[in-house]
């Protein structure tokens, strides 16, 4: 009998990339177009009679700056939506995978964050995602995946934005004082698929795993790399993040240690440079 998997946010940047990798399972994808996770009756109608072995909860409110003025909306999706999905699952032994964020940290640590480090989100977005984490941590079988700086097909992201601006301007201003790991949805989706396979074959101890591409950079360094690889001459002016006057405060240090995931899977994700090259070649520059 095929194992049954539910993927929420199945039309989003990560969910849409993950679904094709799960074709060997009996997989159902739901998105706000066909099922509203903030609406219990909508969930009950769509998944109420189904029994899932695994849930991958990708659906989220992800507008970091928008959340500062829409606290209710952020918590409605990221906390209440998560609670609704959990309560709608017709299987107490279901393995629940929750996609979280580096924004649960305040960025004051000088080295890479481990899964055991104390959380202290600076933004409404980070606080709402942490609220979802806390709900998931009460389940029998779960993992929380903290990732960062996502890019890939099926959604607006920093790389596509830089490429657009590079075509329009001679100089662009980018923050140089935030450090993290750009993460390619194709690589993250493969890691999630591998985690599901490991769960079915060996089992996994519940807990938190940091998963990002390998290596670290600033947003300014990333912008320079994108522009160089794309063959543009646009100048990147490095500025302080406070000069951008964004609504939400971001952690200066978003570096996440990937050693725990390496111990589970036996590998690190490719470098962020290789990931950017693949995305540019296959999706943006062809």
Radius of gyration of the chain (CA): 19
Catalytic residues: 125
Count CB atoms within 10 A of the CB of residue 262.
15
Query: How far apart (Å, rounded) are the C-alpha atoms in residues 257 and 211?
Result: 8
**Ranges of H-type helices in the chain:** 15-18, 40-47, 66-69, 71-75, 82-88, 124-136, 158-168, 185-201, 219-230, 259-265, 272-279
Residue identified by tokens 């890019």 is 151
Give CA torsion, residues 171, 173, 176, 179, to 10 deg: -110
Q: Name every residue whose Cβ is closer than 8 Å to that of residue 20 and which is 6 or more positions away in sequence.
A: none
């Amino acid at each position: 009998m095929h194992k049954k998997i539910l993927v929420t946010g199945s039309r989003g940047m990560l969910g849409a990339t993950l679904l094709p990798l799960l074709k060997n399972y009996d997989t159902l994808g739901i998105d706000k177009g066909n099922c509203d996770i903030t609406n219990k009756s909508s969930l009950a109608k769509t998944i109420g009679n189904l029994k899932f072995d695994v849930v991958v909860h990708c659906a989220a409110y992800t507008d970091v700056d928008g959340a500062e003025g829409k606290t209710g909306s952020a918590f409605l999706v990221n906390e209440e939506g998560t609670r609704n999905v959990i309560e709608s699952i017709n299987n107490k032994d279901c393995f629940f995978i929750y996609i979280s964020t580096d924004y649960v940290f305040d960025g004051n640590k000088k080295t890479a964050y481990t899964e055991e480090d104390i959380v202290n989100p600076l933004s409404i977005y980070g606080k709402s995602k942490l609220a979802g984490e806390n709900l998931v941590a009460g389940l029998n079988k779960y993992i929380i995946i903290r990732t960062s700086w996502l890019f890939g097909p099926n959604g607006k992201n920093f790389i596509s934005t830089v490429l657009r601006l590079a075509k329009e301007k001679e100089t662009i201003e980018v923050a140089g004082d935030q450090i993290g790991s750009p993460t390619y949805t194709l690589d993250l989706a493969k890691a999630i698929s591998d985690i599901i396979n490991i769960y079915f074959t060996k089992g996994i101890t519940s807990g938190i795993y940091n998963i990002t591409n390998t290596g670290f950079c600033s947003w300014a360094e990333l912008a320079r790399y994108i522009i160089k690889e794309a063959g543009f001459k646009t100048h990147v002016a490095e500025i302080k993040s406070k000069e951008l006057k964004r609504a939400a405060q971001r952690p200066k240090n978003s570096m996440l240690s990937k050693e725990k995931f390496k111990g589970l899977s036996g590998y690190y994700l490719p470098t962020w440079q290789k990931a950017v090259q693949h995305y540019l070649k296959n999706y943006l520059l062809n």
